[in-house]
């Protein structure tokens, strides 16, 4: 993926660049809002990572102007302001995700990769998701693996849908809690892990190939 | 502001009071002037009417009986001494027929039909040698045969009355003005004094003494209300300051220990031999420790924002749905830990609240229950309507908390688990408490039924 990072704090920008490069992405950086906006318009990036507090043009205004100008590149806000109101504000101006500082590198990578996927899968409405021999029929709300029909609770269905839409990518616990449960806080108990292990029992237990893997220290990955 | 016995003279309150007393005095003066005019005017009009009536009567006598009849009428009147009238009837040669004036004081000025009042004074020797001056208003008419008739009305009584009224007005006006000034002065000083006491309180508070309160009188007037509101505001401010100070201390304390622990670990590593594997291990531990500190720090910030009312958007909320979701989220974790989880959630529970914050508060309670309830015990999660409140409770059959500590654990960073075997910031219950307060509700911790385990209850006002 080709990512534009707009962040004025040099050290922080370097850190983000390093983290994304290590994950195999190419990164370009801009250190103020105005410059960042023109770079975002000039080139076709796969994702924008935008700090909220920027010199010359605040992040909120940058994304708003970029969207009003017809820019469709997915954008992720980075901010030290983490409360829900700020998150909502960020999403309202047209950002696609929001990550509070400080963050774990795995979290950033997972979210940026999720953004890239969103754009490419945007055009034709998908009705069937496939990972290996696991198949999800979104209209009939049916899941099958090979010849076996798998019964899922509504929440398990949502969870699996999210994992399948981001197949091959690492998905963090926080992302699952946000996207599947719509909670913006961290329960200290391993509630998500338990849900995952239940899902795993349903989709993987009887089968040779394990699709749902745990990525140590980061989250989960559904992969054939 | 400069002090001194007359410092209040410069205050707005005093100036206002002064202006009002002057206005009051002016209005009183105007009123007195009007009363004077009206009284005197009425008296003048009355004597004129009476003079006119008397004159007509005599004119009738002249018209019906000529000089003889007139003379007779006049004689009758003089004998009876008709109150304050006076007459003079002279023939064409100026000889007095009836009357006690030495001669006609003014030339006759009117023929019949054109009434005109003349005024003059007659002088008679007074009872004690001095002259007795009587002002007279009269009509003097030349009759058909050349004789002249004067009908006058003595004005001395009326003038005495006017003088009396004038005296009263002249005395009353300055007294009224003076009283208004004195009253204004005192009420202004009172108002200035009341305002000054509020100012003093505010100044005292500004100089750092947050415990100062404005004196509140018993009258319940606007100054008392102002003082009461000021006091209520100061109360809130003091609590907030205390909370902030306490939070600051707690933050310092709670961040200091992990940071020093971290420092010591790194120091110890530096002293020992450093190889690739151990360095990596140390760094990983360090990152974990720093992450914990940051998480605590974020939790504190969030808690402070909730306390300050800076976070949370209260909207209509389906609480049944929220609780069912949370039950569903935690149920597998309980089962995994060997805890029997039961949820009893009434339908149609709704309230005005913030979804994320309520979810966090309830999730904190469930978190705690899962963490501290041993395998084989039970957790009961109840959400139900209790009259005007919605009650959400999480009850377990675990070891519970000693009664003496029930209140204390709601405070920030208080953890009974000194060994800190379970992860956690020690802010979970403080958060639940803050969220309850934000929703104008209450958060209570009690021993569970049959004195076993712990029951944590969020009681929130239901939607009306």
**pLDDT tens per residue, range B24-53:** 778 877 887 888 888 888 888 888 888 888
3-state class of A149 per DSSP? Answer: strand
Going from the C-alpha of A99 to that of each of A1, A168, B436, the distances in angstroms are 19, 21, 27
Determine the pLDDT at residue B140.
81
- Determine phi and psi for A154, rounding to 5 degrees: -55, -40
Determine the pLDDT at residue A121.
47
Q: How confident is the model at residue B342 (pLDDT cuts 50, 70, 90)?
A: very high
Q: How confident is the model at residue B311 (pLDDT cuts 50, 70, 90)?
A: confident
Determine the pLDDT at residue B418.
54
Determine the pLDDT at residue B366.
92
- Determine phi and psi for B206, rounding to 5 degrees: -60, -35
Q: In sequence order, what E strands does B22-147 have?
A: 85-90, 96-99, 118-125, 131-142
Distance of CA B274 to the CA centre of its chain: 74
**Does B417 have pLDDT greater than 70?**
no
pLDDT mean over A191-217: 88
Helices and strands (DSSP H and E) totals, chain A? 8, 12
Going from the C-alpha of B97 to that of each of B93, B112, B154, the distances in angstroms are 11, 20, 20
Handedness of CA B321, B324, B328, B329 (dihedral sign): positive
B412 within 8 A of B430, measured Cβ to Cβ: yes
Nearest residue of A to residue B362 by CA position?
A187
3-state class of A140 per DSSP? Answer: coil
Determine the pLDDT at residue B297.
79
B13 within 8 A of B197, measured Cβ to Cβ: no
Q: Looking at the complex, does the CB of residue B127 fall below 8 Å from at least one CB of chain A? A: no
pLDDT mean over B362-390: 90
Residue pLDDT, tens place only, A129-146: 888 889 899 888 899 988
Inter-chain CB pairs, A–B, below 8 Å = 61
CB contact under 8 A, A84 and B356: yes
Mean pLDDT, chain A, rounded, equals: 86
Determine the pLDDT at residue B293.
81
Determine the pLDDT at residue B125.
67
Peptide bond into A102 cis (omega under 30): yes
Cα distance between residue B45 and residue B137, in whole Å: 12
pLDDT mean over B141-156: 80
Determine the pLDDT at residue B110.
60
B438 within 8 A of B361, measured Cβ to Cβ: no
Residue pLDDT, tens place only, A21-48: 988 899 999 888 888 898 888 888 889 9
B380 within 8 A of B398, measured Cβ to Cβ: no
Cα distance between residue A85 and residue A91, in whole Å: 10
Going from the C-alpha of A179 to that of each of A34, B354, B421, B461, the distances in angstroms are 31, 18, 31, 30
**Does B135 have pLDDT greater than 70?**
yes
Handedness of CA B20, B24, B26, B27 (dihedral sign): positive
Cα distance between residue A49 and residue A96, in whole Å: 10
Q: Looking at the complex, does the CB of residue B302 fall below 8 Å from at least one CB of chain A? A: yes
Share of chain B above pLDDT 70, in %: 87
Do β-strands B96-99 and A170-172 pair in parallel, antiparallel, or remain unpaired? unpaired
Q: Which of residues 101 through 120 in chain A touch B, CB cutoff 8 A? A: 102, 104
Which residue in this structure is represented by tokens 């490069």? Answer: A21
Mean pLDDT, chain B, rounded, equals: 80
Q: How confident is the model at residue B115 (pLDDT cuts 50, 70, 90)?
A: low
Residue pLDDT, tens place only, B293-302: 877 777 877 7
Q: Residue B343's beta-bridge partner residues?
A: B381
Determine the pLDDT at residue A217.
76
Q: Looking at the complex, does the CB of residue B336 fall below 8 Å from at least one CB of chain A? A: yes
CATH 1.10.10.10 boundaries in chain A: 128-222
DSSP B417: -
B148 within 8 A of B140, measured Cβ to Cβ: yes
Which H or E run contains B443? Answer: strand B442-447
B86 within 8 A of B59, measured Cβ to Cβ: no
Which H or E run contains B163? Answer: helix B156-206
Determine the pLDDT at residue B343.
92
Helices and strands (DSSP H and E) totals, chain B? 7, 12
DSSP A71-117: ----EEEEES--SHHHHHHHHHTT-SEEEESS--HHHHHHHHHHHHH
Q: Which of A116-125, B149-158, B316-325 has the highest mean pLDDT?
A: B316-325
- Domain extents in chain B: 1-205, 210-310, 315-461
Determine the pLDDT at residue A146.
86
3-state class of B218 per DSSP? Answer: coil
Instruction: Choose the closest CB to A155 out of B328, B356, B360.
Output: B328
DSSP A179-212: HTS---S--SS-HHHHHHHHHHHHHTTTSSS--E
Going from the C-alpha of B24 to that of each of B30, B31, B176, B181, the distances in angstroms are 10, 10, 9, 9
CB contact under 8 A, A189 and B371: yes
CB contact under 8 A, A191 and B291: no
CB contact under 8 A, B333 and A183: no
- Least confident piece of the model among A118-122, A208-212, B269-273, B368-372: A118-122
A177 within 8 A of A170, measured Cβ to Cβ: no
**Nearest partner of B13 among B216, B190, B227, judged by Cα:** B190
How many degrees, rounded to 5, is the angle at CA B437 between CA A92 and CA B245? 95
Is domain B315-461 annotated with CATH 2.60.40.10? Answer: no
Q: How confident is the model at residue B1 (pLDDT cuts 50, 70, 90)?
A: very low
Q: How confident is the model at residue B129 (pLDDT cuts 50, 70, 90)?
A: low
B105 torsion bin: left (phi>0), alpha (psi -120 to 50), beta (else): alpha
**Does B280 have pLDDT greater than 60?**
yes
DSSP B345: E
A126 within 8 A of A138, measured Cβ to Cβ: yes
Q: Tell which CATH architecture fits domain A128-222.
A: Orthogonal Bundle (1.10)
CATH number of B210-310: 1.10.287
Higher pLDDT, B420 or B255: B255
Determine the pLDDT at residue A118.
56
Determine the pLDDT at residue B394.
93
pLDDT mean over A66-91: 82
Instruction: Choose the closest CB to A189 out of B298, B310, B370.
Output: B370
CATH 3.40.50.2300 boundaries in chain A: 2-120
CB contact under 8 A, A188 and B302: no
Instruction: Choose the closest CB to B333 out of A82, A186, A194.
Output: A194
Given the cut 0.90, state whether the ipTM is greater than it.
Answer: no
Strands lying side by side in the sheet with B389-396: B340-345, B378-386, B389-396, B454-461, B442-447
Q: Which of residues 372 through 431 in chain B touch A, CB cutoff 8 A? A: 422-424, 428
Cα distance between residue B389 and residue B463, in whole Å: 8
**Does A4 have pLDDT greater than 90?**
yes
Cα distance between residue B273 and residue B365, in whole Å: 45
DSSP B211: T
Instruction: Choose the closest CB to A83 out of B305, B371, B424.
Output: B305
pLDDT mean over B353-372: 90
How many degrees, rounded to 5, is the angle at CA B323 between CA B322 and CA B325? 65
**Nearest partner of B390 among B311, B317, B450, B449, judged by Cα:** B317
pLDDT mean over A102-117: 84
Determine the pLDDT at residue B436.
92
Q: What six digits make up the tokens of B289?
A: 């420790």
Cα distance between residue A109 and residue A113, in whole Å: 6
Determine the pLDDT at residue B2.
47
B223 within 8 A of B214, measured Cβ to Cβ: no
Which H or E run contains B459? Answer: strand B454-461
Cα distance between residue B363 and residue B329, in whole Å: 9
- Determine phi and psi for B138, rounding to 5 degrees: -145, 160
CATH number of A2-120: 3.40.50.2300
Instruction: Choose the closest CB to B294 out of A102, A189, A190.
Output: A102
């Amino acid at each position: 993926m080709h990512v534009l990072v707009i962040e004025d704090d040099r050290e922080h920008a370097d850190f983000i660049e390093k983290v994304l490069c290590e994950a195999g992405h190419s990164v370009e950086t801009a250190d103020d809002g105005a410059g960042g906006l023109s770079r975002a318009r000039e080139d076709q990036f796969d994702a924008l990572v935008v700090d909220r507090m920027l010199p010359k043009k605040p992040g909120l205004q940058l994304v708003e102007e970029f969207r009003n100008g017809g820019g469709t590149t997915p954008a992720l806000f980075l901010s030290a302001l983490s409360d829900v109101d700020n998150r909502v504000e960020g999403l309202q101006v047209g950002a696609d995700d929001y990550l509070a500082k400080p963050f774990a590198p795995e979290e950033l990578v997972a979210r940026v990769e999720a953004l890239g996927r969103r754009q490419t899968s945007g055009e034709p409405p998908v009705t069937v998701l496939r990972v290996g021999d696991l198949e999800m029929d979104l209209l009939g709300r049916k899941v099958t693996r090979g010849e076996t029909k798998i019964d899922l609770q509504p929440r398990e269905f949502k969870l699996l849908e999210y994992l399948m839409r981001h197949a091959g990518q690492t998905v963090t616990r926080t992302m699952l809690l946000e996207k599947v449960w719509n909670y913006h806080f961290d329960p200290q108990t391993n509630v998500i892990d338990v849900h995952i292990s239940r899902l795993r029992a349903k989709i993987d237990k009887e089968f040779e190939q394990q699709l749902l893997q745990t990525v140590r220290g980061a989250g989960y990955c559904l992969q054939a | 502001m400069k002090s001194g016995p007359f410092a209040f003279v410069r205050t707005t309150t005093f100036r206002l009071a002064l202006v009002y007393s002057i206005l009051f005095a002016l209005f009183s003066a105007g009123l007195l002037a009007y009363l004077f005019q009206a009284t005197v005017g009425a008296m003048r009009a009355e004597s004129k009417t009476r003079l006119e009536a008397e004159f007509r009567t005599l004119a009738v006598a002249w018209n019906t009986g000529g000089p003889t009849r007139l003379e007779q009428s006049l004689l009758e009147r003089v004998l009876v001494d008709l109150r304050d009238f006076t007459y003079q009837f002279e023939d064409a040669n100026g000889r007095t027929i009836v009357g006690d004036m030495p001669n006609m004081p003014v030339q006759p000025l009117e023929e019949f039909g054109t009434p005109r009042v003349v005024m003059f004074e007659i002088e008679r020797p007074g009872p004690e040698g001095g002259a007795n001056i009587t002002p007279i208003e009269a009509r003097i008419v030349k009759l058909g045969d050349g004789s002249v008739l004067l009908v006058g009305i003595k004005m001395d009584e009326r003038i005495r009355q006017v003088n009396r009224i004038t005296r009263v007005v002249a005395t009353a006006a300055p007294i009224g003005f003076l009283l208004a000034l004195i009253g204004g002065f005192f009420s202004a000083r009172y108002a200035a004094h009341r305002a000054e006491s509020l100012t003093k309180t505010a100044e005292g508070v500004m100089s750092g003494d947050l415990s100062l309160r404005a004196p509140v009188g018993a009258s319940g007037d606007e100054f008392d209300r102002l003082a009461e509101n000021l006091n209520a505001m100061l109360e809130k401010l003091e609590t907030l300051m205390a909370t902030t100070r306490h939070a600051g201390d707690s933050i310092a304390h709670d961040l200091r220990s992990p940071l020093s622990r971290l420092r010591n670990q790194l120091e110890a590593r530096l002293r020992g031999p450093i190889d690739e594997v151990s360095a990596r291990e140390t760094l990983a531990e360090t990152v974990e420790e720093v992450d914990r500190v940051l998480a605590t720090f974020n939790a504190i910030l969030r808690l402070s924002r909730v306390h300050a009312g800076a976070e949370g958007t209260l909207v209509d909320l389906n609480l049944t749905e929220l609780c069912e979701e949370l039950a569903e989220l935690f149920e597998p974790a309980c089962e995994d830990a060997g805890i029997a989880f039961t949820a009893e959630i009434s339908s149609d529970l709704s309230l005005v609240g913030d979804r994320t914050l309520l979810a966090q508060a309830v999730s904190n309670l469930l978190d705690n229950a899962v963490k501290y309830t041993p395998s084989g015990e039970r957790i009961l999660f109840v959400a139900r309507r209790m009259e005007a409140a919605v009650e959400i409770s999480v009850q377990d059959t675990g070891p519970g908390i000693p009664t003496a500590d029930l209140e204390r654990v709601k405070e920030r960073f208080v953890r009974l688990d000194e060994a800190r075997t379970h992860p956690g910031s020690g802010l979970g219950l403080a958060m639940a408490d803050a969220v309850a307060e934000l929703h104008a509700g209450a958060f209570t911790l009690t021993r569970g039924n049959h004195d076993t385990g712990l029951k944590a209850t969020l009681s929130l006002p239901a939607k009306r």
